[in-house]
Amino acid sequence: MASRIIMPKLTDSMEEGVVVKWRKSEGDHVDSGDVLAEIETDKAVMDLEAFASGTLRKILAVEGTTVPSGALIGVIAEPAEDIQGLLKEVPEPAKKAAAVDPTHPPQARQDAPFPGLEAVKEEAMVSTEQGEATASPRVRTLAREHGIDLKKVKGSGPSGRIVERDLSPFLTSAVSSQSAVPIGKDQIKQAGQIPARTPTRAARGKIVGEKVAEGPLNAEAEDVPLSQIRKAIARITTQSKAPIPHFYITADVDMGEAMRMVEESKSSRSSISINHLVITASARALRLHPGINASFAGDKIRIWRRIDIGIAVALEDGLIVPVVRDCGSKSLTEIAEEERALVKRTRNRELKPEEYTAATFLISNLGTYDIDNFIAVILPPAAAALAIGSVRDVPVVRNERVDVGRRMKITLSCDHRVIDGVAGAKFLQTLKQELEHPLPFLPPQGGG
């Protein structure tokens, strides 16, 4: 028997969800309980499980689309079963939109008085075509939050506008009815779908465990909606920090030589930065310590042959980690050119997903922000992340004399499932030596 796959309503506040990824393709056999797709709600990404067995006959929402809760996104049925009847309910988006007749543009009001105080009383009276009473934006928000049907509310504002005071009798009753009838779960069951990890519900229908910290004074906070990149950062960092047992090792690096190279390169055609030196030095150190260029793979440790280094690049609304591939076989100049191009394309948001995933080692540099030292979060599949602080002029003792040294703190975050303390320390020692004695900078051939 055919079974409908719908976009579930997982929380009271969920009105739509994004189909992030289909884990099954059309024609695949599915068993009840199989994960069909990953659904991104307003709070998290969750697995959508099949509630019936059969063949996934039709996928109606392509990956990346946002679909209202309750809408049909696919059909499971027997291979030969007729599913045309079910497919008819696919919504036709935006059918009613843009119904403005171009030959009759809306007339500008000629009689509008100067927008002073007196004008407000008249101007504010806007009513819909059907002559229905309007509601203030605040009322619409409250109605949505408390599940109040505005058709039942009589408005006392101008032209019958529903204003906040008109809602007061409904606000108390709405709360009690909401706690009596939990929305969401039942609808999902009826529709034949249940999410894999149905979160525990608190009395008011909020997801426990992802509950937003609510301060005592709500009026003093401001809620900023999560961008897709911010959602991704929240997901990825939590998935890293929670399961991966991090530990950290810090070293102090003498950057005197390295800084001289950076300065000297400024006059050449392709200048180099501290980042370029750190990537190159890390690649050389990783070649000598392959156990750091590795991943935890459940029942084994996977040591990568290629050294792919991810660089954290800050964007206005988050950060992205573009990856310089195969650093082990590239020269400083090649790495510098590649990094510059990648960072530029990152800032222009031109990267393809394969350019910012699957780094085997990570570097995050906050040195330009006058940061002494910090620790980075490991992003799997990498097992280590290197945090770079600022280069500082500090007193150092050299040949029994106090001298000015240029020092930089680097901190390695390690996945203890893969790397032990001594292994991490040895790697850091090599990296420190590489940075303190960089290979002479060779400008590109032919030019000048």
Partner 1 sequence: MTLTYREALNQALREEMRRDEKVFLIGEDVAYYQGAFKVSKGFLEEFGPRRVVDTPITELGFTGLAIGAAMAGLHPVVEMMTFNFAILAMDQIVNNAAKIRYMSGGQISVPIVIRGPGSAAHQLGAQHSQSLEASLEAWFCDVPGLMVVAPSSPRDAKGLLKTAIRESNPVIFIEAQLLYPTKGEVDEGEYLLPLGVADIKRAGTDVTLIAYSKMLSIALQAAEVLAKDGIQAEVVDPRTLRPLDLNTLAASVKKTGKAVIIEDGWPFAGLGAQIAESLYTRVFDYLDGPIVRVTARDVPMPYARNLEDAVIPDVKRVVAAVRTVLYKK
Residues marked active site are found at: 416
Residue 140 binds partner 1 (CB under 8 A): yes
For residue 35, give the H/E element and its range.
Answer: strand 35-40
State the residue for tokens 């392959």.
290
- With CB under 8 A as the contact rule, the residue among 158, 256, 405, 444 that binds partner 1 is 158
Stretch in the footprint of partner 1 (CB under 8 A) among 59-67, 134-142, 238-246, 266-274: 134-142
User: Nearest approach, Cβ of 141 to partner 1 (angstroms)?
Assistant: 4
Instruction: Tell me how crowded residue 4 is: count the other CB atoms within 10 A of its CB.
Output: 20
Smaller CB separation from partner 1, 21 or 138: 138
Residue 59 binds partner 1 (CB under 8 A): no
End-to-end CA distance of the chain, in Å?
Answer: 75
- With CB under 8 A as the contact rule, the residue among 165, 241, 306, 398 that binds partner 1 is 165
Query: Which whole-number Å values give the CA distances from 430 to 200, 335, 426, 440, in the listed order?
Result: 49, 20, 6, 18
Residue 62 binds partner 1 (CB under 8 A): no
Smaller CB separation from partner 1, 42 or 337: 42
Task: Write out the binding residues for partner 1, residues 87-116 only, by CB under 8 A.
Answer: 114-116
> Pseudo-torsion of CA 111, 114, 118, 122, nearest 10°?
30
Q: Quick check: 423 and 289 in contact, CB under 8 A?
A: yes
User: Nearest approach, Cβ of 162 to partner 1 (angstroms)?
Assistant: 10
In terms of Cα–Cα distance, which of 65, 58, 56 is closest to 21?
65
Stretch in the footprint of partner 1 (CB under 8 A) among 5-13, 156-164, 168-176, 423-431: 156-164
User: Nearest approach, Cβ of 118 to partner 1 (angstroms)?
Assistant: 9
Residue 213 binds partner 1 (CB under 8 A): no
Looking at the DSSP bridge assignments, the partners of residue 40 are 18, 45
In terms of Cα–Cα distance, which of 281, 304, 280, 300 is closest to 292?
304
Collect all residues with Cβ–Cβ distance below 8 Å to 288 and sequence separation of at least 6: 430
For residue 364, give the H/E element and its range.
Answer: strand 361-365
DSSP 247-305: EEEEEEEE-HHHHHHHHHHTTSSS---HHHHHHHHHHHHHHH-GGGSEEE-SSSEEEPS
Smaller CB separation from partner 1, 12 or 308: 12
Stretch in the footprint of partner 1 (CB under 8 A) among 150-158, 267-275, 277-285, 331-339: 150-158
- With CB under 8 A as the contact rule, the residue among 117, 208, 213, 242 that binds partner 1 is 117
User: Nearest approach, Cβ of 12 to partner 1 (angstroms)?
Assistant: 17
User: Nearest approach, Cβ of 340 to partner 1 (angstroms)?
Assistant: 21
Residues that bind partner 1 in the complex, under the rule CB under 8 A: 114-117, 120-121, 123-124, 136-141, 156-158, 161, 163-165, 219-222
